[in-house]
Amino acid sequence: MTFELRDYQRQSVDFAMNHGIADKPIHVAPCAAGKTVIQAFIAKREMDRGNSTAILTPRSEILNQTLAMAREVCGYENVSILRAKRDGESWNPVNPVHIVSWPTLISRARRSKFWFPKVDRVLIDECHLSVSPKILEILQHYAPLAAIDGFTATPARMTGIGLGRFFTEIKHVTSVRQLIASGHLSDCEYWGGATPDMTGMKVDKGDFRRQPLSKVCVTLVGDIVDNWLRLASDRQTIVFAVDIAHCEALNDRFQGVGIQSRSLHTGLDQEKRDQIVEEFKSDKIQVLVNVSVCSYGFDAPSVTCIVLARPTRSIVLHIQMLGRGMRPGYGTAMILDHAGNTLRLGHADDLYRWSLDEGKEAAKNWTRMEASGESKESKDYECGDCGAIFKGQRRCPKCGWEIPFAKRDVEVQEADLVPIGRNLVKRLPDDWPSHETFFSMLLHYQRQNNAGKNFAANTFRKKAGCSAPRNWHEFRSVLPDRRVTNYIKSRNYARGAMQRKLRAQGKIRETGSTIG
């Protein structure tokens, strides 16, 4: 198979190959951006240089996908696998590419340092899981020896805490909006259902406590299945449950109405889990009810419905769950939200901002912040008749129900009943780099050309229609591509033409200051 890298994938590979050992960047890219492809091509570049690479993965489901891609790109004979021994598998320490299960490496490295692959580069998949003490032991072993890159869609811990304890910078690869616009992701429609009573629900480590959460969510089991039958009975579906008891209750309910459904959780042995996943991906199972297993790195392109039966306060977990149903080619993804997560945390294509801050504000929905210029248009409404979640208009696009006016609204705001849509204003063109990458390119021009300390901020505001967050000025600069270079040239030309005109009119002196 011949792979043609997308522009942003190629830029991510180039970025990885050009940073030093002291830098430990995180490549941030949404589901379906092709993080596995990027990792395989980085390994291929290193192999062509005569170097070796280890790709660390947290779980068997991800490891199998990574192994297949690496063998496709780098050659079957060049790739070795290190995980708990299975029939026909053995690790070859002299191979140039190693696909490593980090739980296996942790276990074996305690017995002997021999089990650490001797490599020039380490790639950490789903790196938002990698800053626990056990994983940090592995990373700190390699830190002085190899270049290290992290990969994730959500560069923060589930608690919202940043990853600055080990990683040094965030490299934004692409965004959900760009992938939807280019056809590499499906858009979503959101439906709200009955939600559990969260009154008095206690929080532990940034999220709701699991045991009391399970008790209140079990009461929704029947409602969840009834709504799925009404809205999504023809769709391949993943359901996210709170815990094993909740998962099994939901699975029993689906099976009780004749649906080919299975439960998937860590209470099952690995062989059984692999079998269920294979049957689901081959469409022998229609509904997969899971606890945590499918929330990251799970790739099943035919899934077009996600049932959120697990309330969360974690933006990280929320985005990971939504991403499981947005693969392209199967139409609009349907999100059936019985947890209130969409109204609480946002939509998949909202602009989420990340920092390496180890405080609890490392993950934010920037779209809902006033500075983004989108906050008024991003307000969600839930239809009083059918339960659809919509924004940007008063009329439900599914059934026609209208949001009732307050008395003062009827008197002075009737003319405002216009669908404006959050994405119709204050956005970059569909073929433009992401907001973060565009700003990083402006920083590069500013620094290389002494363009003034406000050049990047002012130029970004002119093009994007909104202000960039202050911490973006700390980004690593990125060489501008042709589109951005041409835009800067056109802005400089226009500014120069205006200055010449004002000078000819005598309104500015030769120094550029305005007269009068």
Q: What is the pLDDT of residues 77-101, one digit of tens each?
A: 999 999 887 656 778 889 999 999 9
Average pLDDT of the residues in 254-258? 93
pLDDT value for 417: 24
Domain ranges of the chain: 7-175, 188-345, 378-420, 435-504
Average pLDDT of the residues in 281-296? 89
Q: What is the rounded CA–CA span in Å between residue 55 and residue 98? A: 6
pLDDT value for 206: 76
Domains 7-175 and 188-345 alike in fold = yes
Which among 464, 441, 485 has a CA at the least distance from the CA of 172?
Answer: 441
Check whether 137 has a pLDDT greater than 90: no
Asked whether 259 and 286 are in contact (CB, 8 A), the reply is yes
Q: 325-353 pLDDT, tens per residue? A: 898 878 889 999 998 899 899 999 998 88
Average pLDDT of the residues in 314-321? 91
Check whether 430 has a pLDDT greater than 50: yes
Q: By mean pLDDT, which of 160-174, 276-290, 428-442 is the weakest?
A: 428-442
List b or e across 421-439, with b for residues whose CB sees 16 or more CB atoms inside 10 angstroms: ebbeeebbeeebbbbbbbb
Q: To 10 degrees, the CA torsion angle through 247, 249, 250, 255? A: 120
Helices 270-281 & 60-74, crossing angle to 10 degrees?
Answer: 60
Q: How are beta strands 363-365 and 352-354 bridged, if at all?
A: antiparallel
| Average pLDDT of the chain, as a whole number | 84
Check whether 476 has a pLDDT greater than 50: yes
Which tokens hold the place of 489? Answer: 């040239």
Q: By mean pLDDT, which of 15-24, 133-142, 169-178, 407-416 is the weakest?
A: 407-416
Check whether 411 has a pLDDT greater than 70: no
pLDDT value for 378: 60
Q: How are beta strands 97-101 and 79-82 bridged, if at all?
A: parallel
State which of 102-116, 165-179, 202-216, 367-381 shows the largest mean pLDDT. 165-179
Average pLDDT of the residues in 249-272? 92
Q: 219-255 pLDDT, tens per residue? A: 778 788 988 998 899 999 999 999 999 999 999 999 9
Q: What is the rounded CA–CA span in Å between residue 271 and residue 467? A: 51
Coil, strand or helix at 239: strand
Q: By mean pLDDT, which of 33-47, 310-324, 400-414, 441-455 is the weakest?
A: 400-414
Q: How are beta strands 287-290 and 236-240 bridged, if at all?
A: parallel
Q: By mean pLDDT, which of 156-165, 205-214, 416-425 is the weakest?
A: 416-425
Asked whether 438 and 477 are in contact (CB, 8 A), the reply is no
pLDDT value for 178: 92
- Rounded to 5 degrees, φ, ψ at 197 are -75, 110
Asked whether 338 and 233 are in contact (CB, 8 A), the reply is no
Architecture per CATH, domain 7-175, reads as 3-Layer(aba) Sandwich (3.40)
Q: What is the rounded CA–CA span in Å between residue 328 and residue 319? A: 17
Asked whether 325 and 238 are in contact (CB, 8 A), the reply is yes
Q: What is the rounded CA–CA span in Å between residue 495 and residue 469? A: 25
Residue 379, burial from CB neighbour count under 10 angstroms (0-12, 13-18, 19+): exposed
Check whether 420 has a pLDDT greater than 60: no
pLDDT value for 41: 97
Which among 449, 435, 440, 438 has a CA at the least distance from the CA of 478?
Answer: 440
Geometric angle at alpha carbon 198, from 195 and 201, rounded to 5°: 150
Longest CA pairwise span in the chain (Å):
85
Q: 143-186 pLDDT, tens per residue? A: 999 999 999 999 998 888 899 989 999 999 999 999 999 999 99
Given the candidates 3.40.190.80, 3.40.47.10, 1.10.3720.10, 3.40.50.300, the CATH classification of the domain at 188-345 is: 3.40.50.300
